[in-house]
Protein backbone atom coordinates (compact mmCIF):
# COMPACT_ATOMS: atom_id res chain seq x y z
CA UNK A 1 0.00 0.00 0.00
CA UNK A 2 1.36 3.43 -0.93
CA UNK A 3 1.68 6.25 1.57
CA UNK A 4 -1.21 8.07 -0.11
CA UNK A 5 -3.47 5.03 0.16
CA UNK A 6 -2.57 4.54 3.81
CA UNK A 7 -3.27 8.21 4.58
CA UNK A 8 -6.62 8.04 2.74
CA UNK A 9 -7.68 4.95 4.69
CA UNK A 10 -6.70 6.56 8.02
CA UNK A 11 -8.69 9.70 7.18
CA UNK A 12 -11.69 7.66 6.02
CA UNK A 13 -11.71 5.75 9.30
CA UNK A 14 -11.76 9.02 11.26
CA UNK A 15 -14.53 10.56 9.16
CA UNK A 16 -16.65 7.42 8.66
CA UNK A 17 -16.27 7.61 4.88
CA UNK A 18 -15.28 4.99 2.32
CA UNK A 19 -12.20 5.00 0.07
CA UNK A 20 -13.08 3.85 -3.44
CA UNK A 21 -10.67 1.97 -5.68
CA UNK A 22 -10.62 4.83 -8.21
CA UNK A 23 -7.91 7.35 -9.00
CA UNK A 24 -7.52 10.13 -11.52
CA UNK A 25 -4.26 11.84 -12.34
CA UNK A 26 -2.32 13.79 -14.91
CA UNK A 27 1.30 14.77 -15.31
CA UNK A 28 2.38 17.51 -12.92
CA UNK A 29 5.47 19.51 -13.71
CA UNK A 30 7.43 19.99 -11.62
CA UNK A 31 6.70 16.76 -9.78
CA UNK A 32 5.18 17.52 -6.34
CA UNK A 33 7.35 16.65 -3.34
CA UNK A 34 6.64 14.17 -0.57
CA UNK A 35 3.52 15.03 1.39
CA UNK A 36 2.05 17.43 -1.18
CA UNK A 37 -1.70 17.11 -1.58
CA UNK A 38 -2.66 17.95 -5.13
CA UNK A 39 -6.37 17.11 -5.02
CA UNK A 40 -8.83 15.62 -2.59
CA UNK A 41 -12.58 15.12 -2.85
CA UNK A 42 -15.12 13.91 -0.35
CA UNK A 43 -18.76 13.74 -1.40
CA UNK A 44 -21.79 12.18 0.30
CA UNK A 45 -23.85 9.85 -1.83
CA UNK A 46 -26.32 7.04 -1.34
CA UNK A 47 -25.06 5.31 -4.48
CA UNK A 48 -23.02 2.10 -4.34
CA UNK A 49 -19.36 2.58 -5.40
CA UNK A 50 -19.66 1.48 -9.07
CA UNK A 51 -22.80 3.55 -9.66
CA UNK A 52 -21.18 6.55 -7.94
CA UNK A 53 -18.11 6.40 -10.20
CA UNK A 54 -20.30 6.01 -13.30
CA UNK A 55 -22.54 8.92 -12.28
CA UNK A 56 -19.81 11.40 -11.40
CA UNK A 57 -16.53 10.37 -13.07
CA UNK A 58 -17.01 7.85 -15.88
CA UNK A 59 -19.99 9.17 -17.79
CA UNK A 60 -18.57 8.37 -21.23
CA UNK A 61 -18.07 12.03 -22.17
CA UNK A 62 -14.56 12.27 -20.70
CA UNK A 63 -11.43 12.54 -22.81
CA UNK A 64 -9.14 10.22 -20.91
CA UNK A 65 -6.95 7.19 -21.20
CA UNK A 66 -7.13 4.23 -18.84
CA UNK A 67 -3.83 2.78 -17.69
CA UNK A 68 -5.20 -0.49 -16.31
pLDDT at 48: 94
Q: Which pLDDT tens digit goes with each residue over 8-58?
A: 899 999 988 889 888 777 778 888 888 887 777 888 899 999 999 989 888
Asked, for residue 29, whether it belongs to a domain, the answer is yes
- Number of domains forming the structure of the chain: 1
What is the structure's pLDDT at 68?
60
How confident is the model over 57-68, as a mean pLDDT? Answer: 74
Look at residue 7 and tell me if it is in a domain: yes
* Rounded Cα gap, residues 10 and 55, in angstroms: 26
Residue 67 has pLDDT above 70, yes or no: no
Q: Which domain holds residue 38?
A: 3-56
CA distance 30 to 28: 6
Phi, psi torsion values for 42, nearest 5 degrees: -125, 130
Does residue 64 fall inside a structural domain?
Answer: no
45, 52 contact by CB (below 8 A):
yes
Question: CA Rg, the chain, in Å?
Answer: 14
Amino acid sequence: MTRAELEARKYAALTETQVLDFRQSYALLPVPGHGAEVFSLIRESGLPPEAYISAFFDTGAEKHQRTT
